[in-house]
Amino acid sequence: MADAAYIPHIDLLLQALRINRDRLNSKSKIAIDARLLRVLIQGIAAAAPFSEPFYLATYPDVAEAVASGDIHDARRHFAEVGYIEGRFGAPPPVDDAFYTAKYEDVAEAVARRRRVGHRPLHALRRRRGPPAKQGAHGGCGRLDVAAAGPRPRRMMRPAV
């Protein structure tokens, strides 16, 4: 996959949707072919933050498929399949101080340097539940807290 994502000209997108700019700016509903929607979502996913070490550590089934040659490019897998399956390409930002204060079980595990679920993914699972699709190349792995690397500084607070 190329480093720079290709974004088609707006006229090409509007033509594929069979609409004009006036319709795009209106409040009317627009029907969209599922295949086109999938391609648009994959384009968005291709531009999303991605960390191959995170992706492979978080999803051991993908790491195994990459190692065996069934998947040739982890980033491409994320953009074309993983994002649609509900996987994360990079750790979502979490305010560790806020999160560990809110969830005592996580704070306790971190204090003991035990192996716990990755806090950003734990945060998202607490808010929305696990990814909808599990199974082949699906599911959420676990990371070692000490090996998780630098922590993001941005905040993630539960929705009000």
Report the chain's mean pLDDT, rounded to a whole number. 74
Domain ranges in the chain?
Answer: 1-50+73-90, 91-160
pLDDT at position 114, please? Answer: 56
What pTM does this model have?
Answer: 0.57
Task: Please tell me the predicted confidence (pLDDT) of residue 99.
Answer: 83
Any residues with CB less than 8 A from the CB of 59 and at least 6 apart, and which?
82, 87, 137, 139, 140, 141
